[in-house]
Chain A
Amino acid sequence: MNVLDIKDLTVEFPSRQSVFVAVDDVTLSVDAGRILGVVGESGAGKSTVGNAVIGLLQEPGHIAGGEIYLHGKRIDRLPYKQKRLMRGRKIGMIFQDPLTSLDPLQTVESQLVETIRTHLPMSKQKARARAVELIDAVGIPDPAERIKQYPHQFSGGMRQRVVIALALCAEPELVIADEPTTALDVSIQAQILKLMKKLCEERNVAMMVITHDMGVIADITDHVAVMYNGKLVEYGETGQVLGMPQHPYTQSLISAVPRPDIRVERFPVVNYIEAARTPQKQIDISTHWLGKARDYKKVTGPLVRIGDLDMRFETRGSVFPSRRKYFQAVKKVSFDIEEGETFGLVGESGSGKSTIARLITGLYQPTGGSILFAGTDLTSLKNRRDVLAMRRQMQMIFQDPYSSLNARMRVREIIAEPIRFHKLASGNAEVRRIVDDLLDHVGLGTAAGQKFPHEFSGGQRQRISIARALATRPRFLICDEPTSALDVSIQAQILNLLKDLQEELRLTMLFISHDLAVIRQMCNRIGVMRNGELCEVSECDRLFEAPQHAYTRELLNLMPSMELLSRANLESV
């Protein structure tokens, strides 16, 4: 018998204007010792399914139809108190962010003991022993000692292990994991996934993993359910669904996942999703404003030359220099970027890659070293006019499309601002024409100019960001994780757009990402960073085929296995 059976589940969110159907007629089941993956893009309703099972739907959402059974017993109609007792006891939950899902004011032990004793009739002594056992089972070394510590004394990955221990502590029959590894670095993600798989088999627990990441699905799940717009579009064994996807949405979703093993010219675009996209207007770059007046000084040698760059942040200030404490974000980093190439920086969070981007653009002042741009040392520029001239030549695209645009300005104003400020056009009419062309060129259409940023989706906003960056006619573009906040299908479109623009405008790019697969598709040369140091700089293909540094090899090994996906791709190409 299945542990969890969901039959024809429909979840509705009534709002003032209409009723929003978040989950539409979904039927799923999970067996003991098995992992079911629920995959889909943002807004697909996958998290809502999990919340409906555990009975934690956010107001005003409610189950409008269908039935949920746990071990054959119907649970969706239970009164509040019984639902509460069921949570934790029968169903454990693992949340996305390990930083916020633990109580910072309680030791790990007291949180575990409290949860155990709420659900199981146990003495304090026994509960404590069980807590230590659990912490040991999730692979935290020295469990008897570490259990006495507070959550902030654990790293992100260790905290997620504690969260898993918490979910398992009352021997639940079902564990729901909502994006369990999204907030973690790749190396830790691999460990956590392995742990989850192991625990699921050892303890014979049914597991439901909700994720947007095809890699996670391919790695650990036995069955997979693909959701799109609240509907279940495909459901079956993981190998079969990924290897031979039947539904066009699944096919396009899988083909859009960037692949680390082969380099492709262009990403397959998921036309299933944004079918109604305004076609790009062709602009003759040689005569258009965008291509004109690129009267930049010719450089001999690399365009950007970074030498012994050092950056430290003061973490504790003091009047006495000896008592100040620093965090060394970038340590003696040197690399060159040739004109016209795309240089990739890859590394885990905290490796200092974003700091380098901010140092180059002048958002931070380096504490040491030099940044040579087209032969001029940016750190030595004092005159404001010279600084501005340099700033105009380099622009940046930021990670978060939701905070990188001023919510109170119209899109047209956002894009026109740099043109006006640097006096790159004469008269309002010309500015307007350029803005319209830019909007057209990034695939938004001129009508977008009248709107405010909140009227656009994440991918569209990133297009606005790109248009703004192009508005100063830069020769050097820094992309700081430009797609890590976007869904895969949108990511493919944005990466294609960046590639096109680079070719067309002969841009030099610094591309920063934590995602090796994306880096491989985009870059000519790659630098690998760790703890503020540059481990290795290498040609793109050589890095993947013959990594020199031990850390690079580790990173490559830790990527979620893509064998299943690769097979699917090879067949569809």
Chain B
Amino acid sequence: MPYVSNEEAKAAVQGRTSPQAAPGRIAKALDSDLFHSFLKSRITVAAACGTLILFLLAFLAPWVAPHDPFDLASISILDARVPPVWMEYADPRFLLGTDDQGRDLLSGIFYGMRISLIVGFCSVIAAAMIGITLGLVAGYMGGRVDAVIMRIADVQLTFPAILIALLIDGVANGIFGTLDREIFAFYILIVSLALSFWVQYARTVRGSTMVEKNKEYVQAARVIGLPSVVIMARHILPNVMGPVLVIATINLALAIVTESSLSFLGVGMPPTQPSLGTLIAIGNDFLYSGEWWIAIFPGLALALLVLNVNLLGDWLRDALNPKLR
């Protein structure tokens, strides 16, 4: 057989087995190999459920949280450092206890998770946009453009994410002054995370682009006369998005962890808008004085979140990788 691609084999299979009625879009998605590989892996289903629950709790925090940790009127310093309900001296209003300012820890975790996730998503999207654009341009143009972009990427890789974040934070503080920190902290975090994560996207997209650009459909587009920008955006981009999706999922977990580390170090979210990292940082001060719950519960929440997202990412990587199927 001169050319037997998967598609052809598949077409032959479909031709010889009973013809199926044309299913709708949802039915098609439910019948796809991807969905079946999803159902087959129990751990993935569990991870997906866990992720969904955590996301819901985080994004519906104002409605599901028993207290509003940002409402100064409702918190009282008298409630500070109350232990979880199953311990002595507990207060039934605070399921997991309170922190040093009397804020309900459970509500704090929900709100903190929300901030962590928003920062995570935004930085992943920003990093992906920078990385995909540069990767596409580098891979498609080749030559000097490629060399310059990839050398920048190499240099970028020599700096750890935390160092870049500290640098940007320092520069931002110099420009805006510490006064506006609370407003800008969020954006500074996203910029610094995006700047440290774009390289991976750029490298992956560049590699796939170099494969795709030699395929005949790209040459056909060039014969039609389409300009390079259109070819890159409309023809190559959709064909290199598979691996990007996988990186983005795994990077989301990484971004959340990095954000938490930064907040823990004090260059991330301020204590007035605590993310999970900030909560752990606050709890860290009380770890040795016996108030372990302030650090442990946000830490557990962080671990759960990252684990679930990572498991999903791993499955996606395997499911989309034709070599492992």
What residues of chain B lie closer than 8 Å to A392, measured between beta carbons? Answer: 225
B155 CB to closest chain A CB, in angstroms?
23
Q: Are A43 and B12 in contact (CB under 8 A)?
A: yes
Q: How far is the CA of A245 from the CA of B239 in the complex (A)?
A: 46
Q: Are A422 and B225 in contact (CB under 8 A)?
A: yes
Interface centre among B10, B15, B224, B239 (most CB of A within 10 A): B224
Contact with A along B205-225 (1 / 0, CB 8 A): 000000000011101111111
Q: Are B13 and A391 in contact (CB under 8 A)?
A: no
Q: Are B220 and A484 in contact (CB under 8 A)?
A: no
Q: How far is the CA of A406 from the CA of B216 in the complex (A)?
A: 9
A394's closest neighbor in chain B, by CB? B223
Given contacts A47-B1, A406-B239, contact A421 B224 (CB under 8 A): yes
What residues of chain A lie closer than 8 Å to B226, measured between beta carbons? Answer: 417, 421
Q: Are B1 and A403 in contact (CB under 8 A)?
A: no
Interface with B: A16-24, A85-93, A217-225, A426-434, which one?
A16-24
B7, B18, B216: which contacts A404 (Cβ < 8 A)? Answer: B216
Given contacts A403-B217, A406-B217, contact A485 B2 (CB under 8 A): yes
What residues of chain A lie closer than 8 Å to B217, measured between beta carbons? Answer: 403-407
The yes or no answer to A159 lying at the interface (CB within 8 A) is no
The yes or no answer to B4 lying at the interface (CB within 8 A) is yes
B217 CB to closest chain A CB, in angstroms?
5
Q: Are B13 and A398 in contact (CB under 8 A)?
A: no
The yes or no answer to A344 lying at the interface (CB within 8 A) is no
A407's closest neighbor in chain B, by CB? B239
Q: Are B225 and A458 in contact (CB under 8 A)?
A: no
B160 CB to closest chain A CB, in angstroms?
35
Q: Are B220 and A182 in contact (CB under 8 A)?
A: no
What residues of chain A lie closer than 8 Å to B13, measured between beta carbons? Answer: 13, 15, 20
Contact with A along B84-121 (1 / 0, CB 8 A): 00000000000000000000000000000000000000
Contact with A along B265-285 (1 / 0, CB 8 A): 000000000000000000000
The yes or no answer to B183 lying at the interface (CB within 8 A) is no
Q: How far is the CA of A455 from the CA of B22 in the complex (A)?
A: 12
What residues of chain A lie closer than 8 Å to B74, measured between beta carbons? Answer: none
A16, A362, A484: which contacts B36 (Cβ < 8 A)? Answer: A16
Contact with A along B177-221 (1 / 0, CB 8 A): 000000000000000000000000000000000000001110111
Q: Are B17 and A363 in contact (CB under 8 A)?
A: no
B214 CB to closest chain A CB, in angstroms?
9
Count A/B pairs, Cβ under 8 Å.
Answer: 115
The yes or no answer to B21 lying at the interface (CB within 8 A) is no
A361, A417, A455, A485: which contacts B3 (Cβ < 8 A)? Answer: A485
Contact with A along B1-40 (1 / 0, CB 8 A): 1111101111111011110100000000000010010000
The yes or no answer to A161 lying at the interface (CB within 8 A) is no
Q: How far is the CA of A330 from the CA of B96 in the complex (A)?
A: 78
B227's closest neighbor in chain A, by CB? A384
The yes or no answer to A472 lying at the interface (CB within 8 A) is yes
Q: How far is the CA of A269 from the CA of B234 in the complex (A)?
A: 37
B18, B33, B221: which contacts A18 (Cβ < 8 A)? Answer: B18
The yes or no answer to A445 lying at the interface (CB within 8 A) is no
Q: Are B2 and A182 in contact (CB under 8 A)?
A: yes
Q: Which of B220-265 contact A (CB under 8 A)?
A: 220-226, 230, 234-235, 238-239
B255 CB to closest chain A CB, in angstroms?
27
Given contacts A42-B8, A407-B239, contact A395 B2 (CB under 8 A): no
What residues of chain A lie closer than 8 Å to B20, measured between beta carbons? Answer: 17
Q: How far is the CA of A387 from the CA of B223 in the complex (A)?
A: 11
B12's closest neighbor in chain A, by CB? A43
Q: Are A398 and B17 in contact (CB under 8 A)?
A: no
What residues of chain A lie closer than 8 Å to B3, measured between beta carbons? Answer: 42, 400, 402, 458, 485
What residues of chain A lie closer than 8 Å to B10, measured between beta carbons? Answer: 454
Q: Are A458 and B16 in contact (CB under 8 A)?
A: no
Q: Are A402 and B16 in contact (CB under 8 A)?
A: no
Q: Are A391 and B224 in contact (CB under 8 A)?
A: yes
Q: Are B2 and A396 in contact (CB under 8 A)?
A: no
Q: How far is the CA of A458 from the CA of B238 in the complex (A)?
A: 22
The yes or no answer to A399 lying at the interface (CB within 8 A) is yes
What residues of chain A lie closer than 8 Å to B216, measured between beta carbons? Answer: 398-400, 403-404
What residues of chain B lie closer than 8 Å to A486, measured between beta carbons? Answer: 2
Q: Are B1 and A42 in contact (CB under 8 A)?
A: yes
Q: Are B223 and A395 in contact (CB under 8 A)?
A: yes
What residues of chain A lie closer than 8 Å to B9, measured between beta carbons? Answer: 43
A183's closest neighbor in chain B, by CB? B2
The yes or no answer to A418 lying at the interface (CB within 8 A) is yes
What residues of chain B lie closer than 8 Å to A407, measured between beta carbons? Answer: 217, 239
Q: How far is the CA of A251 from the CA of B137 in the complex (A)?
A: 53
Q: A399-B216, A418-B224, A422-B225 are in contact. List 14 more A-B contacts (CB 8 A).
A: A18-B17, A43-B4, A43-B8, A182-B1, A361-B223, A362-B222, A391-B224, A394-B223, A395-B223, A402-B7, A402-B8, A406-B235, A407-B239, A472-B224
Chain A interface residues (CB < 8 Å from chain B) = 13, 15-21, 42-43, 46-47, 179, 182, 212, 229-230, 358, 361-363, 387-388, 391-392, 394-396, 398-400, 402-409, 417-418, 421-422, 454-458, 465, 468, 472, 484-486
5 residue pairs bridging A and B, Cβ less than 8 Å apart: A43-B1, A396-B220, A398-B219, A402-B3, A485-B3
Chain B interface residues (CB < 8 Å from chain A) = 1-5, 7-13, 15-18, 20, 33, 36, 215-217, 219-226, 230, 234-235, 238-239
